Amino acid sequence: MENIVEYLRAAQPARANVLGVGISALNLDSAVKVMLSALNQRVKGYVCVSGVHGVSEAQTDPTLRRILNEAFLNTPDGMPMVWMGRLQGFKGIDRVYGPDLMLRLCESSVAHGFKHFFYGGGAGVAEELKTRLGQRFPGLNIVGTFSPPFRPLTTEEESELKALVAGLKPDIFWVGLSTPKQEKFMAEHWKSLETTMFVGVGAAFDFHAGRVRQAPRWMQRSGLEWLFRLACEPRRLWKRYLKNNPLFVVRAFFQFTGLRKYSLDGTRG
């Protein structure tokens, strides 16, 4: 256990403070490198990918804030996370977008023989994802999928999932649920399920399964992906973006002007 603790301290990058949420100061290349190293060492943990939505939810949900701050990695999924990190002196920080992280880790894992498991998405999404990624990356070892109901698992379903994972022993357990549902699922199960690393990537399941269109790359890099997604799904996403985005800007202003202090232990001044 001491060796694992020492490994975690050495492997984890510093974190930018974004409204009291620690955002790992890394980029896609360094994120994949750290995760592959952890997988090879069989270091258990969970990885979150956080943008404005997750950080905003954490402002009124202390449990979520703690989960994000205790993650093995909490990557900068949105460009505002990158901009705030750079303002704090982390020059090498760049976006680690969930869908990109999934593709890069799947590609890199083939040579290592790591086993993957897909948990989440609507009916049939995880199976479609398995087919598409298997075709895209020959040799990718996807050992199982599980499409959960849109409610908490029953005791029987929990037992079924536990037995399934115990038999397959995947190295990477991908979680494609909405925030904060996926983060709370990972925090609850990362110690009890027989897998090494959980990675919560949200809408990446729908994107890579071909169910939902992704924003053009230029919109992703300019911080306008939210506008594209809002235009595609206005009824579902209008409240998230039209409420959270302005509030995030105001809170970020307060943090940088010193009008409000945020610490990474979850307290605010």
Residue ranges of domains in the chain, CATH in brackets: 13-208 (3.40.50), 217-257 (no CATH)
Measured CA to CA, the distance from residue 169 to residue 179 in angstroms comes to 25
Residue whose C-alpha is closest to residue 120's, from 223, 246, 207: 207
Interhelix angle 98-109/28-40, rounded to 10 degrees, is: 50
Distance (Å, whole) CA 128 – CA 136: 12
Give dist(CA 230, CA 217) in Å, integer: 16
* 72-96 as b/e: b if 16+ CB within 10 A: bbbbbbbbbbbbbbbebebeebbbb
Task: Please answer whether residues 49 and 77 qualify as being in contact, where contact means their C-beta atoms are separated by less than 8 angstroms.
Answer: yes
With a threshold of 0.85, does the pTM exceed it? yes
- Give the pLDDT confidence score for residue 219 in this predicted structure: 78
| Per-residue confidence (pLDDT) for residue 10, from 0 to 100 | 58
pLDDT in tens, the chain (269 residues): 444 445 555 567 899 999 999 999 999 999 999 999 999 999 999 999 999 999 999 999 999 999 999 999 999 999 999 999 999 999 999 999 999 999 999 999 999 999 999 999 888 899 999 999 999 999 999 999 999 888 888 999 999 999 999 999 999 999 999 899 999 999 999 999 999 999 999 889 998 988 877 778 887 787 877 777 777 778 777 777 788 889 999 999 999 999 999 988 654 44
> Rounded to an integer, what distance in angstroms lies between the CA atom of residue 71 and that of residue 73?
5
pLDDT of residue 6: 55
pLDDT reported for residue 222: 79
CA 35, chain centre distance (Å): 13
